[in-house]
Structures are given as C-alpha cells and as structure tokens.
A = this chain, B = another copy of it.
Amino acid sequence: MINVAIVGVSGFTGLELVRILLHHNKFHINYVSNSTGGQSLAQIHPELHGVLDMAVSKTSIEDIADKSQLVFLAVPHQTAMSIVPKLLQKGLKIVDLSADYRLDVATYETAYCPHTDQTNLPYATYGLPEFYSKDIAATSLVANPGCYPTASLLGLMPFVPYIKPNTPVFIDAKSGVSGAGKKLNATTSYMHIQENSFAYNPLAHRHSYEITYILKNLTQQSWDINFVPHILPVSRGMLTSIYVQLDQTIDPNKILKEYYKADRFIRIRTSPPTIKETSHTNFCDIFVATKGQNLFINTSIDNLSRGASSQAVVNANIMYGLDERLGV
C-alpha cells in the first residue's frame, strides 16, 4: 500500500478524494489536513461518521512527509505553490488540483496572480491522461486540469484538423453549483439558485485562458476561444456545448471513434449526453452533430469526479504504473 495525504480535505474535492480512495486497494489515506486542524473528518463531513473518522491535522510539511508518499493538494491556487516546492524537496509525488502549475508564467500571471514557484513550474505535467499519459507516468508533479478545460478539450481535440482556420470557437458551458466551492456567498445560496440559471464571467472566465493555452500547446497553433460558463441548479455535473466552423464536410462520429478508440474513459454517445449519466464517474461522454459545415460538440462530465478528484486519482494511478482505472 502507498500512503496518501489529502491536503485541503474540507472542501468538495477533498471529500470526493476521500470517497474514492476509501475503495482504492493500493492507496491508503494516512493523513488528512486543512488550514486549521482540530476537528475530526466526520465533524467536517458528517456523512463520514462510522466510515472514516480520523483526525484532520493542521497542514504540516513534516507530517505529510512522515506519513505519506503521495500527496493530493485540494487547496486554493496560491496556497498550492507555497507548499509544492517543500513537498518536492521531500521526494513526494504530488497531484495538485489547483491552477498553480497548469499554465506558463505569462499566462498564469495574466489569469491569476504573480507566480511564486517558477523553478518547478516547467517540470509540472498537465494531467489530462488522454493527451499526456506518457508525461504523467514520468513526472513527480501533476497539474490536475480544471473542470471546464477537461470537458472542453476532450470535445475539441478530435476535430482540430477540420476546423476552418481563423474562425472562432464558441464554448457554452454549464456547471453544477459545487464548481463554485464551499465558501459562502449570496450567489450560491439555495434561495438564489433554486429555479434559476444564469451566465457568469462571460468571455472572461479564468478557465478560458487554460483552454486556450493547453490547446495551443497540443496543436502548436493559436485559437480564438470564446468561453461562456453558466450555473445550473444542480449540485454537480457539467455540460459543454461547443460550436465550431469546419473547412470541409465530415463524418464526426467516425472521426471521434477513431480518435478515442483506445481510451476507456471516453464514451461516444448517439444521443446528447446527460449530466446524470456521468455523475460520480470518470467518464467523459461525447455527442456530435453537424449542420452543413457547422459542428456541434456536446460533452458531459462530473465536475467533481472527472473535473477534479477522480481524474486526480487516475493521474496518481498512472504515476505509479497502476491500471489507470484502479479505484475509480
């Protein structure tokens, strides 16, 4: 068994990591922490009463190193890059669920804030296994992708060769409320969300930088990504509806099947995917349709699973040479 630490266990993705790892037969949860410590896991997440009621420590690099070989960081951006250098020095493997190691310095600083660990940034690997599995297998630091970029990139990549040059890509994304995190605010109160839906940060969300940057990395070309996320009145789950213009007529299902023929976590659907059908799984369901040379790509993932915690565990599996599906 490989001992595992979950840092930032109080949030939604922390809880999701606990749930997944409880049934993983190679990774053993040996340390959980948050910024304050002093409570038990079941005090923070009452559903864990009688399931796993260990103490939640105040995060300490020494303790993490003593108790674990593999660390999941489920902490906010900025916090992650303040911890990662020390954990790497201790020789630990890390899957970082924050944004801190997903971008290059320039893009990161445009989208977020000054980057304080430029030393390790170039050595991190973007943890989207369909595209980077070899790199993931070789690294000690995986930058686990954002939820929107995961759902968008998995939909777009098969069709890159057919997209008409110099046309915009429109990504209309819809996410459950858990994507906003656990911090209280009026926007995510029940009274605001119930029977409601709305766009937020249209054309200006941080994840549009991540989509654009990674897509450029994967394709060696520039992209005009227009990304508008919306809140859905559901707890979890995510849809993207992607609209692109092609430079030829294509058989999109044939292309999709060929592209993902070896990938176990992609399901090609013959009708539009639903949020529920990928709920609590690592699947990305994809549906495609065309009207002339316009292409509609429709993907569904669970924002807390494929968009965060189950993808993190898949990445850890790959880092340790295990079957990527273990425990997921």
Contact = CB atoms under 8 A, between A and B. Distances in A.
A197 B232 contact: yes
A174 B275 CA distance: 14
Given A197-B237, A234-B195, A234-B196, A226 B190 contact: no
A159 interface: no
Interface residues on A, range: 35 or more
Contact of A184 (B168, B186, B276, B300): B186
Given A190-B189, A190-B190, A276-B47, A199 B298 contact: yes
A169 to B, nearest CB: 10
Interface in A251-299: 264, 267, 269, 272-279, 281, 283, 285, 287, 289-292, 294, 296, 298
A272 B200 contact: yes
A320 interface: no
Copy number in the complex reads 4
Contacts of A192: 190, 276
A299 B130 CA distance: 36
Contact of A174 (B12, B184, B197, B243): B197
Contacts of A67: none
Contacts of A235: 190-191, 194-195
A9 to B, nearest CB: 16
Contacts of A289: 202-204
Nearest 10 interchain pairs by C-beta = A199-B272, A198-B274, A172-B172, A170-B243, A190-B193, A203-B291, A47-B277, A196-B276, A190-B190, A195-B234
9 contacts: A47-B281, A167-B245, A172-B172, A174-B174, A178-B191, A190-B193, A193-B194, A196-B234, A197-B239
